[in-house]
A = this chain, B = another copy of it.
Amino acid sequence: MPGELKTELKSKSRAEGKLVVLKLGGSVVTRKEKRMTPNLEAIKMLAQEVAQADVEYLIIVHGGGSFGHPLAEQYRIKEGFKERSQIEGFSKTHQAMLELNKLVVDALIQHNIAAFSVIPSSCIVTKAGRIESLDNCQIDMLLNMGLVPVLFGDAVLDEDQGFAILSGDQLVAVLARSFKASRIILGVDVDGLYTADPKAHSIAQPITHITLADLKSRISAIEQTRVTDVTGGMLGKILELMPAIGAGIPTMIVNAGKRGNLYKALKEQEVPGTLITKE
C-alpha cells in the first residue's frame, strides 16, 4: 500500500488533458470600489456552480480586487524593494490576499469541494516578476489526491528585485501549460471581448470566438475596453494568457458575476462570452 500510494501520488500524468484552470477575477470576488470588501454573495454563488459542475481535475486561481490591489499600489510592491518603508506593505499585501483566499476556500469547502489553499509566496520565487518554476507547490500531488488547489495573485519574493506582484493571470497561464490543462476559464465582470469598448461605443459587438492571430491584430482595440489595474486590465490578462493559448489551450472568457455562466462554461455548455483558440 505505501509503495502504491507513493506511485499514485507522484504520478505526473493523472490530470493531463482533463484539467480545467479557472480564474475568478478580483472584480468578481470582491467589490472593487470599496477597500477590503469581499463580494460574499458572488463567492457563494461561484462555489455553488463549481460544486454543481463537478469537474474531475480543477485548479482555481483568484485575483486580488479590493484586497490586494490598493495595498500593492500604495506601497509600490510591483516595482520591487527600493526602501524599507515598503516592507510593511509587502507583508500587508500578502496578509490581505490570505484573508480573501480564506473566504474563497471556506465557501468552496462549505459546498463540499476539497479545496486546498496553496500560497504562492510560500512556494514561488519570481525572477524580475516572472515565475521560474511551480515545482515546489506540489500541485500534482494535490490533484492526484482529488483536491482542488486554490491559488491567488500574491506579493512574492523576487530573486532580482526583492519582491514583486505575481498576478493571478500569470499563474493561470503557467499552471495551464505546466499541467497540460484542457481548458482555461476566465471568470470576469464583463461579457467577454468586444469589437470596441461597449461602454463608450454603441456599435461595439461582442466577439464570441476569436483565434490567436485575429486577436493579435485586434489587440489595440481591446486595449481601451477596461480601466487598468496593477496587474493590467483586460489587455494585461490577454497578454499573459497568450502563451497558454498558443500552446493549444482554449480559453473561455465569461461574465462569472451572472448566475449560471460559470456552471455552463465549466460544463462546456453554450454561454455568452469569448472563446479564444490557437487556430
Contacts and interface: CB of A to CB of B under 8 A. Distances in A.
Contacts of A209: none
A219 interface: no
Question: Quick one: copies of this chain in the complex?
Answer: 2
A220 B228 CA distance: 65
Given A91-B115, A136-B136, A159 B6 contact: yes
A114 B91 contact: yes
A115 B98 CA distance: 13
A2 B84 contact: no
Given A95-B105, A118-B122, A81 B145 contact: yes
Interface string A77-102: 00001001001101110110011011
Interface in A88-131: 88, 90-92, 94-95, 98-99, 101-102, 105-106, 109, 112, 114-123, 125
28 contacts: A5-B81, A5-B160, A5-B162, A6-B160, A9-B159, A87-B114, A87-B145, A87-B146, A88-B109, A90-B116, A90-B145, A91-B109, A91-B114, A95-B102, A95-B109, A95-B117, A98-B98, A98-B102, A98-B105, A102-B102, A117-B122, A118-B122, A119-B122, A122-B137, A125-B138, A138-B157, A142-B157, A145-B163
